[in-house]
Amino acid sequence: MLNIALPKGRLGDKVYELFASIGYDCSEIYSDNRKLVFENKENGVRYLLVKPSDVAIYIAHGAADIGVVGKDILEEGSFDIYELLDLNLGKCNMCVAAPNDYVEDFDRPLRVATKFVNIAKNYYISLNREIEIIKLNGSIEIAPILGLSDVIVDIVESGKTLQENNLRVYEKIMPISARLIANKSSYKFKSDDIETLMEKLKKELAK
């Protein structure tokens, strides 16, 4: 039995459809929206629906064998897992965004508002730029508007939210997409099952 952790929400739905299309369906998943664990013994899969930011934690601790998680979560945390495949789903970019009329002042440390503290830190370390981080948990776009920060570091999908808040992409940090990850121990003991699933996924994604 393969235990698969999926992120609840839009990305999780897309990923489930992908898995179902290659023979790992579990129709029960549509029937009861409150349940968090769904099993199809015939296909040998058990899906666990968890908060997107927790998928990698479940995998690292072996509560699930494999899972799908955004690259942003992997970059922000530090997880001892295998990152096996780029599913090319949920594509977006991790960006530095700033007000439309922003001009960077290099005379002082940059004030950065973000919920991706480690990504922001590592990015500015690579530029050797001194920063002050303001950790926020949501509505990041509001920070530069209210003068809380100079810029924000956040995920940008279509850019519409930025646009509506008079912000623009100032720098691109990295592309983000959904990744298939595995627990290291599970990968060793269930390598046949996991590799079979990976091969099927690769074929489907290549279509």
Footprint on this chain of other proteins (rule: CB under 8 A): 60-62, 78, 80-86, 183-189, 191
Dist CA 100 CA 103 (whole Å): 9
Nearest-approach distance from CB 46 to other proteins, in angstroms: 16
Both tokens assigned to 98: 């700033």
Cα-Cα-Cα-Cα dihedral sign, residues 152, 134, 122, 128: positive
Nearest-approach distance from CB 146 to other proteins, in angstroms: 32
Q: Which is nearer to other proteins, 86 or 204 (CB)?
A: 86
- Longest CA–CA separation in the chain, Å: 64
User: Among 46, 23, 35, which residue's Cα sits nearest to residue 204?
Assistant: 23
- CA–chain centroid gap for 126, Å, is 22
Q: Which is nearer to other proteins, 84 or 117 (CB)?
A: 84
Nearest-approach distance from CB 173 to other proteins, in angstroms: 14
Q: Which is nearer to other proteins, 21 or 185 (CB)?
A: 185
Nearest-approach distance from CB 126 to other proteins, in angstroms: 8
Q: Which is nearer to other proteins, 47 or 187 (CB)?
A: 187
Give Cβ neighbours of residue 25 (< 8 Å, ≥ 6 apart): 19, 40, 43
Both tokens assigned to 202: 């690769």
* Continuous segment of H or E residues that includes residue 155: strand 151-156
Q: Which is nearer to other proteins, 122 or 163 (CB)?
A: 122
Other C-beta atoms closer than 10 Å to the C-beta of 47 total: 27
Nearest-approach distance from CB 202 to other proteins, in angstroms: 11
